[in-house]
Structures are given as C-alpha cells and as structure tokens.
Amino acid sequence: MIGTVLRDLGITADRERVRVDWGPAKLIAHAVSTGEGVLTASGSLMVETGKYTGRSPQNRYIVDAPIAHENVNWDSPQNRPIDVETYERLYGNVAAHLSERELFVVRAFAGADRAYARKVIVVCERASQALFISQLLVRPTADELENFGRPDIVVLAAPDYTTTKEADGVDGDAAVMLNFDAKTIIVAGTGYSGEIKKGIFTTMSYLLPVEDGVLSMHCSANVDPATGKTAVLFGLSGTGKTTLSADPDRRLIGDDEHGWSPRGIFNIEGGCYAKCIDLTREREPEIYDAIKFGCLTENLVLDDATHEPDYADGSITENTRAGYPLSHIASAVEPSVGETPSVILFLTADAYGVLPPISRLDRTEAMFHFLTGYTSKVAGTEVGIVEPQPTFSALFGEPFMPLDHMVYAYLLGEKIARHNTRVYLVNTGWTDGPYGTGHRIALSHTRALVRAAMDGSLDYAGYRHDDVFDVDVPRECLGVPSDLLEPRKTWADPEAYDEAAAKLVKLFKENFEKRYPGTSLEDLTSLKR
C-alpha cells in the first residue's frame, strides 16, 4: 500500500530506500550513525536545524485553489496566496528530489478523537524529522496501522532541497506551501521541525470548522482527575500558559493544539514541542524530565566532553526546542480527550499594570477578547522598545487560523452559550504600576486565582463591575490580597492609573475597529456562520 501511495504522490523511490513507521530507537540509531544528530546526556537526539531555527512566515504560502479561494481569509497578512501553477511546479521538483533520497514514512493521526481525526502521512528525508513527527502526532495502534489506507493529509518534508526563483517560482531558499484543496503540505529548504507541526495544525484549523463544524484552538488544556471537569488556557508567548497548565493537581490533556466538538475537547497532537531556553528542573520539572530517550531536541549547546545541554545558552538561537510524546509527561491523560470545558482562561501579560489579575467575562466580552488576543512586550525584550508595546494576535494564534476570524469567534460564542462555560481574563503581568515601576504579579497569587476559577469557588466570591474595562472582578479569593484584585488601589498615584487604563482601553478599541471595521460588540452575539 505504501508503494502505491508514494507512486500516487509522484515519488518513485526504490522500495529498499523507504523506511516505513520505524520506531524511535531505529530512527535515533540511524540519525546518529549518519551524523544527523548526537545523543545528549539526558538521552535525547539533538540536531542543528541549519539556517532556519524558527518558523519563517515570509516563506509560507497558501495555495489559492478553487475551494480555498472561497474560504481562506485573504485579508490577513498571514495568509499569502500562491497560484496553483507555482504550487504544482514546486511539488513536482520536491517529489523528484525525494525520489532520489533515502525516505522515512510516518503514518499517524492528527486528532486524539478518532471521530474527527485525520490520517496523516509524512514523507521526509531525515530520520530526525521522522522521529519528531512520530512523537508529535497521535500514534496509531497496530490494528489502525494495518487498516490505515490512504491518507487524508500528506506532508512532504525536504529540508535538503533548496528553492530558487528560476526553478520553483518562489523567492528565497525555502518554502512552506499549504494546499487545502489537495490537503497537501510541502516543507522545503528548512530543517526546523516546527514548520511540519504548524503546517498540520493550520490545515486542521481549516478542515475542522469547514468540514465538521468543530472549533480548532491554539491553547492548552487540563482536567481535574477527581471531577473530570476540564479547562482550556489561551495565551501568547510570555503569559505563563505552559506553567499554569502544568498544575500538579490536574492532569494534562495537551499543551498547544485542540479541537472542541459536540463530544468535548480533544488534543490534535500526541506530543509537546516545548521551548528549552533557560529550562530548569525547579521551574519546569515535567518538561525537564520529559527530555529523555525518544525526544528530539533542536539547536542546544552541549558540553564537548559530557554532552550535557546548557539550556541557558542561546548562542545558536533563543528558540531552542524539545519534541516529545505525551507519554513522557507523568500527569498526561491517555487518550488525550476531555469533556466539554467548564472554564476558559484567556492569559495576558499586561505590562501597563492596569488590568485586574482576574475578571469574569460574559459571552460578548469573551468573543471580544478572543478576537483581540492581547498581551504586551516590554522594554529590553526587543531592539527599539523603550516602553510597553501592545501585541495583538487574534484568536491567540492568528498565523495558524486561516479562515475568517469570525468563523472561530462564532463557534466559541455558540459553545459558551450552549454549555454555560465560564470565561475569565487573567492578567499574569504587572501590578503596583507599569513595567519598570511596579512588579510582576506573584505566581502564587495567579495560581490561587486560576485554581479558584477552575474549581468554581470563585463563583461564590461576589463581584464588582469594572466600568473602565467592562468586566466583572471578584471581591475576594482565598490566598490573594484583596487590594490586588483592584489594581487602582495598588498604584501610588491613582490618577496615573486612570491615565494608563484609558490608554489601554483606547488601544483595544483602535485594534478592534482596524481589524473588524463596522462590527460592534453588540454584533458579536448575533454572528452566524
């Protein structure tokens, strides 16, 4: 069957050069023997990804095919169109390249709930990338492999193929092309494995709403083992999403990509792709201990003598990564599914220091903040930033959501209303003043608020309405100073607080009006698909 599938894909490699569904040990042994990577002291396979050590948005395209043309949000700068002819040109060249290489074929599922899962075949020329994707996707059982059949999604990964304008019709030496009509992904010219992972997630974020009416979400999720109640956590980089979802009193469903169906939520993946920079066992014990044999690590600096990784060394890249299966996390749920979420948390690191540490949102407010996706960068994080800079990424993951944003917002609002799901906006950023004057909200206080939201005890706290941000704020929470819940009281100069809060409100409004012109907040609850 594999031979037939490859021929149908235009790949004519000799059978003896095709390795199908190799296990981690064989893939690691092969990668080490060929010099693809080295074993670290913790047992992970470490590779250097070359020129590209992160995603390359300028090299990513969506094929403007007939069906996709009607569905994709082409107004988003994230969705760069490419014509079908150029795609077919690149596809033919990559298929010819792979036909001459030793190949590794991985069969897996995108989606832990088989009712909504898609069968994926990844054809790649590096054993290390086969290891990565076999650990990151959901692994089929022996019976499922026996009856796998033809794939729903195909990925061709050719990091050693260099694209050119003359041969392939694209600028630059790498290209990532997503063809939603053909359900095919090409990753050429880059060894960064995150392009494979995010290509599959972006495709699922197109297919699930369009074909199944399922909400795809860029979020983490966990469950209370005693009650079975689940929570989902949205948040951009630096908001504490990974830290807060790894609660020792709860079990992890997944850390990055999920679907919300009529049956509940499910992990789209079967593994995690964690950042490693400054990793310590003290701060992130589950991630630290997950980096062992079977894990792929990227761009770490190793001690020459011992191969101990120096997680603090970002000389190759600050975006050092580890890809490992959920089975490496002791608290992970198997299978990685959960009931309909009882609570949603939107995490933001507000460097202005004006948002309450937690506030309750109604359906309209939840849809607004979902469409806004706010956090902030602070001085010193990037060249040229001298004061807090707002960052807005719609849906808390705009680059991976190719449909009109309102499609996802409608699905979220519908589910919140139908299931009476509680929604909170959690500020993990600053209090006592803005960045540079105030201080970061203590993790212990944030954890207390998050746990109270998850277990429902925050429902009984009593609330006051914040007229500035139009949210409801709890009056008390066990283990949290009451003044902290009213950020204006923490500022030495209340008038300065009022000025900063008004500035942030203005930024919210300007961003919303720019992204969704002609849409009022009142319109959100009447959205139709």
Length of the chain: 529
pLDDT single digits (tens) 405-453: 999 999 999 999 999 999 999 999 999 999 989 999 999 999 999 999 9
- The pLDDT value given to residue 385: 53
Is 241 among the catalytic positions?
yes
Catalytic residue among 30, 197, 321, 415: 321
Quickly state the pLDDT bin for 526 (edges 50, 70, 90): low
Q: How far apart are CA 145 and CA 137, in angstroms?
A: 14
Out of 30, 55, 119, 405, pick the active-site residue.
55
**Does residue 380 carry a pLDDT above 50?**
no
What would the mean pLDDT of 195-200 be, rounded to a whole number? 97
Q: What's the rounded mean pLDDT across residues 140-164?
A: 96
Determine whether 242 is an active site residue: yes
**CA–CA distance, 494 with 130 (Å, rounded to integer):** 56
Is residue 328 flagged as an active site residue?
no
* Residue 70 in tokens: 């009607």
Higher local confidence (pLDDT), 475 or 461: 475
Q: In what order do the strands lie in the sheet with 45-47?
A: 38-39, 45-47, 296-298, 321-325, 271-275
Domains recognised in the chain with CATH numbers: 2-36+59-214 (3.40.449.10), 220-255+342-524 (3.90.228.20), 271-328 (2.170.8.10)
Question: Known catalytic residue: 321?
Answer: yes
Q: Are 427 and 441 in contact (CB under 8 A)?
A: yes
Question: In the annotation, is 237 catalytic?
Answer: yes
Secondary structure (DSSP) of 404-473: -HHHHHHHHHHHHHHHT-EEEEEE-SEESSSTTTSEEPPHHHHHHHHHHHHHSGGGGS-EEEETTTTEEE
pLDDT digits (tens, 9 = 90+) for 227-237: 999 999 999 87
% pLDDT > 70, the chain: 97
Amino acid letter for position 508 = F
Q: What is the pLDDT of residue 381?
A: 44
The residue annotated as part of the active site, out of 101, 107, 119, 241, is 241
User: Could you tell me the pTM of the whole model?
Assistant: 0.94
Question: Residue 393 catalytic?
Answer: no
pLDDT of 22 higher than 60: yes
Q: Please indicate whether residue 19 is annotated as part of the active site.
A: no
Using an 8 Å Cβ cutoff, are 109 and 140 in contact? yes
Q: Based on the residue annotation, tell me whether 482 is a catalytic residue of this protein.
A: no
